[in-house]
Structure 1
């Protein structure tokens, strides 16, 4: 984390300037067998494309609320930082009825229909695949995002003291508060640029999002993000820790 970083998106920009080739997010889905590793550069490209989608195609403006009805997943991490890039508030598990945009995985589509604004659906299939048929009333993220620009610039500078992050049933955090808490969590966990934190926590709480993205990013380290850890065979988690060179665990 640099002294000039004021928002989570700034953390990603600093990571990109420092070492774009290093791994940032390694994702496992133990229900499907998927493993995908994203370097800082690849992850930042997804964030830029998604931010362009939010700003231009969805028409979301700074201060608008985006309900993210998504599990802990690498694409959820992309949306969190894309929201930060544009100045909209990322509401993890928030009420879609009060949101300008609802972003849903396949398990929350009915809930997301309460949103009167734009709705985006993510299949969460391996390699970011499309739905076989897009859900009615939703844009298919995997169809819309590839054509977006690889560079992003907000129409107006993002205010680090504006609300940036919220969780269902919890309060809001500004971008600066998110930075402060992520940095404090990184210090508490002893994270460094060589740390690889394995997290099996959901993203619908601060602890889960911090362990699964923000604290490793603040430290200049990386995360091994695991979904459906309960599907692992006995002993497989220890093997994963060893093969992924994990230095700490949050499950």
Structure 2
């Protein structure tokens, strides 16, 4: 990645310029058997579409706060980078009542109704599938995002010194996210391109977000992000580490 990258969105742009075809996020859900692999280019396309939805259809602006009520999931990673692209503060597990808009999974719909702004729901079904019926009072992400543009340009330049992320009660600027991700990568076993980390950590702590997204992105590495990993067992985990060519496990 480039030394001039100051926000997570900058990191993604650099990754796209360096090697768009390499894997970036491989996602497993061991409750459903789902496996999805996204190259840098595919991931960046999802981010661009989501950022266009956020900025255009949902009228989000830099400094707005988005309560992100989603588990560790590839679509959560997309939303985190879309927020960075627009300049919206991603408040992971934040209070919907205090947010300008909310993004929720199927298990937190009732809590999300406390948000007085835009409400977006994700079914978290395999292949990004939609709800059989859109929940009342919500926009179905899977219905709206496919029609969004494949390229994104922010209406305003994102300031890396402004708040970008809130997790576990701590607030970080975009520049702090990048710096913390880079400085913490070696302790996660990420030494640069070719490194591949398997993470079963939740996204509700900095450690989970760093291992499951930001540190791999900041070093040119990749992540195997696993939900419900406890169902796999030791033998299954060993087989996955081997088959996915994992170099570090969290």
- Using the size of structure 1 for normalisation, the TM-score is 0.98
- Using the size of structure 2 for normalisation, the TM-score is 0.98
Q: How many residues align?
A: 249
- Segments ≥4 residues shifted beyond 2 Å: 187-190
C-alpha displacement at 1:171, in angstroms?
2.1
The answer to whether structure 1 residue 176 and structure 2 residue 183 are counterparts is no
Distance of 1:186 and 1:61 partners within structure 2: 31
Partner of 2:61 in structure 1?
61
Partner of 2:14 in structure 1?
14
Distance of 2:109 and 2:35 partners within structure 1: 25
Distance of 1:234 and 1:9 partners within structure 2: 36
Deviation string, structure 1 residues 87-129 (Cα, Å, up to 9, x no partner): 0000100000011110000000000000000000000000000
Partner of 1:102 in structure 2?
102
Partner of 1:77 in structure 2?
77
SS of 1:103's equivalent?
Answer: strand
Please tell me the root mean square deviation across aligned C-alpha atoms, in Å: 0.7
Distance of 2:63 and 2:171 partners within structure 1: 12
C-alpha displacement at 1:143, in angstroms?
0.1
Distance of 2:88 and 2:98 partners within structure 1: 14
Which consecutive residues of structure 1, in runs of 5 or more, have no partner in the other structure? none
Equivalent pair of 2:89/2:163 in contact (CA under 8 Å)? yes
SS of 1:160's equivalent?
Answer: coil
Deviation string, structure 1 residues 43-90 (Cα, Å, up to 9, x no partner): 000000000000011111000000000000000000000000000000
1:1-251 correspondence runs (5 A)? 1-168=1-168, 170-191=169-190, 192-250=192-250
Deviation string, structure 1 residues 116-168 (Cα, Å, up to 9, x no partner): 00000000000000000000000000000000000000001000000000014
C-alpha displacement at 1:188, in angstroms?
2.5
Distance of 2:52 and 2:234 partners within structure 1: 43
